[in-house]
Amino acid sequence: MSNFTQTNGNYSKIYAKSEVSARFASKFPISYNTAMDKSQALREALVELFGDAFSVNVPLSAMSSFEIGGPADFFYEARRLEDLRAAVALAVRQRAPYRVIGGGSNILFADEGFRGLIIRNRTEGTAYGEGRLRVLSGTSLSALLRAALKTDLTGLEFLVGIPGTVGGAVSGNAGAFGRSVADVLESAVILEPGGAERTIPGEDLGFGYRNSSLRKSSGIVLEAVLASSPGDRKASEALMRDHLETRRTKHPPWGTPCAGSYFKNPCSTDGCKVAAGRLLDEAGARGMSVGGAAVYEKHCNFIVNTGNATCRDVLLLAQKMKDKVQAKFGVRLEEEVIHLPADASSV
């Protein structure tokens, strides 16, 4: 793996040791009397570590493809791996709620925002060697696909048109057209909340349908190694065009505020997946709306923000949609979009 070509970002820093302070913090946590003390202590720690390179009261609507969400108390954008590690270590040491986000394309923020630190992962870079693509987790899936095309690697075409970052895609096992990240992820470097960093083979990441064990463990993806095979670049481009055309006919137009499919496709009694959109359509969800949140007219599994939707509108609408499907089919739909409450703890 020594002959990698750096294509972007600070790739050489990938193997730096994790922050000792995070390990230390998990053993000797700080305690506070009030929420105010905690917030003040977090602010002071952020100033000490990052100077003025973090922000306060940042509207999360700007960080989300749904364009919904009130202010986060603190917001930090990590462009280098060491900054991502340091921000997580700081939040752990301060015992402050935090969340690492990528493109914000699968998340519903609360109207009240978030009482803690939102860390946006902007660590970007890809490197190729020995038939594998290594990629930093803040890299967008579109940049990943461009890198794959450049090196004539194929097998990742199913990811075309999915917004967001590699980290978000690994954590949620993103997929389409019958394939998902679990099929192509060889290994990932994971930062554990305690500060340890481990390289974990894909098969040990507990992948399931739009799920991985990282969702429970709060492990942060720092880097991913994707297996893809040399192939015909022209055929790869043609396949991606086909996929994009299929997506264009089914999905809301690009840029429509939404977070992709709202519900997971449930399993029928024979174990096969049933399209949640079809169940919702047959149960009568088409045309439903609450406030500014509406069921997308051409695909009932999309909730779109028609302009002034609140998180509350979306949650109410989603509940009504679930109730309809439950009443008609006896099936309980499960959310694919992640709702982050304002007072969520980190783990």
Ligand X SMILES: Cc1cc2nc3c(=O)[nH]c(=O)nc-3n(C[C@H](O)[C@H](O)[C@H](O)COP(=O)(O)OP(=O)(O)OC[C@H]3O[C@@H](n4cnc5c(N)ncnc54)[C@H](O)[C@@H]3O)c2cc1C
Q: Which residues bind ligand X (CB under 6 A)?
A: 65, 99-107, 121, 137, 162-165, 167-169, 171-172, 174-176, 214, 220-221, 251, 258-260, 338
Is residue 336 annotated as a catalytic residue, yes or no? Answer: yes
- Three-state SS for 186? strand
Instruction: Tell the smallest beta-carbon distance from residue 172 to ligand X (Å).
Output: 5
Q: In terms of CB distance, is 284 or 292 closer to ligand X?
A: 292
Using CA atoms, how far residue 326 sits from 83, 163, 200, 345, in Å, is 45, 30, 38, 30
Strand pairing category for 132-136 and 289-290? unpaired
In terms of CB distance, is 107 or 318 closer to ligand X?
107
Distance between CA atoms of residues 143 and 190, nearest Å: 21
CB-based contacts of 238-244 (< 8 A; 24+ apart in sequence): 239/157, 240/145, 240/157, 240/160, 243/157, 243/158, 243/160, 243/161, 243/176, 243/177, 244/160, 244/161
Three-state DSSP class for 116?
A: strand
Minimum distance, C-beta of residue 243 to ligand X, in the bound complex (Å) = 9
Q: d(Cα 24, Cα 39) in Å, to the nearest integer?
A: 21
Listed in sequence order, the DSSP H helices in 151-196 are 166-171
SS3 225: strand
**Minimal distance, residue 155 CB to ligand X, in Å:** 16
Least distance (Å) from ligand X to the CB of residue 273? 13
Q: Cβ closer to ligand X: 102 or 202?
A: 102
Catalytic residue of the set 210, 218, 223, 236: 210
Do 64 and 109 form a contact (C-beta atoms < 8 A)?
A: yes
Please, what is the minimum distance in Å from the beta carbon of residue 76 to ligand X? 14
| Cβ distance to ligand X smaller for residue 94 or 218 | 218
Q: Name the residue nearer to ligand X (CB basis): 28 or 85.
A: 85
Active site residues per annotation: 210, 261, 336
